[in-house]
Amino acid sequence: MVCSKKQKWTHKLRMLEDAYRQTVTEQALAQQLFGSITDLFPICRSITGSGVRETLSYLNRISPMEIHEVPSGTEVFDWVIPKEWNIRDAYIKDSSGKRVVDFQRSNLHVVNYSTPIAGQFSLEQLRPHLFTLPDQPDLIPYRTSYYEESWGFCLSQNQLDALPDDEYEVFIDASLEPGSLTYGEIYIPGKSEEEVLISCHICHPSMANDNLSGMVIAAYLAAHLKSLPLHYSYRFLFVPGTIGSITWLSLNEQTLPKIQHGLVLAGLGDPGPLTYKRSRRGDDAIDRAASHIVYQQSEQPPIEFSPYGYDERQYCSPGVDLPVGRLSRTPHGSFPEYHTSADNLDFIQPKQLADSLMACLAIFDIIEQNRYYINTKPMGEPQLSKYGLYSATGGNKQSPEIQMAMLWVLNLSDRKHSLLDIAERSGLSFETILLAAQKLYKHGLLTPDEKLWRHNPK
């Protein structure tokens, strides 16, 4: 029985990341992720409507999900589900009939949630409805007006400057009517009912990094995790930003106590290094696990929590206060392409997408594998050479790093330090510490603490 336990444990070693590597090369994975983003890029998404449904339908083919429809008017905490918005076409035509601003060329051209309009306007009359980025004159901004009924167009400053005084025909073929808010949910049961929450926002129209990167990575993660034995259950949410997470929280209050760890995924394809923003709790298990992996990969220290950003704002509101952090690359708002037409397929890189996905798995590996062990020979060091774990004269049989990792694991396996504690204290990677622990365990020099699966390794 001890033997079977050992086998099981050994088998689980780095299962999530390694398992992926066994099925697909990182390069192929990178192309899969990029390919899906390319497919989804043209769709005009919003917080409600057919663009969201089409997107979820595509993601559903990567990893089957439950699609929820919540009717307009439903009260969700302090909010109300808005009317559903759908758009078919929109343009500004000059007096010659030429479309000078055309929704068909970029869905950013229309202010998201614009009410329908059809009429003739002079340029001066139009101006209050036109939005540009004077400091980035080539780019179209991304604008929304969810909770104030209005209409408008976004265009580049250069486009605007080139418009002559003229009589323009304005047309927005949109509807804003009672309907529903749509979101997707994937639940992957593990051995425990305790959950890991992964959330991404699906409401942005043609933007690659923010947040097609997040939703596509989430879908592939879910597809991968489904095939593996897991301790935790994993719940993936594909929700429109703010209103979507508030809706889910409001409808699932009974589920919240089960959530032990969580990540918001957003902006994971740009060329910048991985970054992690702490949960409101600041130093929970997810904060330590994600900070460790991000530091190992990119040497970026974690970003302190602030009540701004993506849906971590809702998951970390004071009455909810879930241990949910955010994994990104360059933080939103701090890259010039943010919320513009430059957040396109050229801005994201296949390799960055794949690395982001693998980092998620490495974080989950810590969450799944971190434990407390007890040194079975705590008086002095055990004679490692007896077990073939120490080199004799001619150079090391073990790599020096593993050798040091074994000494650290032996020294700190005193019921007070988890493997992650030991990794943090030693400056070695969790992966190395886990490997050392496995070797020591194989030789009976470690025994699991009865507190196995303690979640918060603080």
Residues of this chain that interact with a second copy (CB under 8 A) are 76-79, 111, 131, 143-145, 147-148, 150, 152, 242, 245-246, 249-250, 253, 280, 306-308, 313-314, 316-321, 375, 377-383, 385-386, 392-394, 404, 407-408, 410-414, 426
Closest contact distance (angstroms) between CB of 305 and a second copy is 9
Alpha helices (H) along 24-172: 26-40, 50-62, 123-126, 157-161
Closest contact distance (angstroms) between CB of 73 and a second copy is 14
Closest contact distance (angstroms) between CB of 119 and a second copy is 19
211 cis-preceded (ω within 30 degrees of 0)? yes
Q: How far is CA 409 from CA 9, 362, 378, 423, 436, in A?
A: 17, 20, 11, 9, 7
Closest contact distance (angstroms) between CB of 341 and a second copy is 18
Nearer to a second copy, 171 or 390 (CB): 390
- What CA–CA distance (Å, rounded) separates 221 from 32? 12
User: CA angle 174-175-176, nearest 5°?
Assistant: 130
Nearer to a second copy, 26 or 449 (CB): 449
Nearer to a second copy, 35 or 307 (CB): 307
Closest contact distance (angstroms) between CB of 128 and a second copy is 8
Residue 276's DSSP bridge partners are 327
Nearer to a second copy, 263 or 410 (CB): 410
Classify residue 210 by its DSSP letter.
Answer: I
Nearer to a second copy, 250 or 330 (CB): 250
Dihedral angle, C-alpha 182, 188, 194, 196, nearest 10 °: -60
Closest contact distance (angstroms) between CB of 382 and a second copy is 4
Nearer to a second copy, 167 or 414 (CB): 414
Closest contact distance (angstroms) between CB of 30 and a second copy is 35
- What CA–CA distance (Å, rounded) separates 52 from 184? 10
- What CA–CA distance (Å, rounded) separates 175 from 65? 27
Nearer to a second copy, 285 or 406 (CB): 406
Q: Which residue, 82, 264, 76, is CA-closest to 179?
A: 82
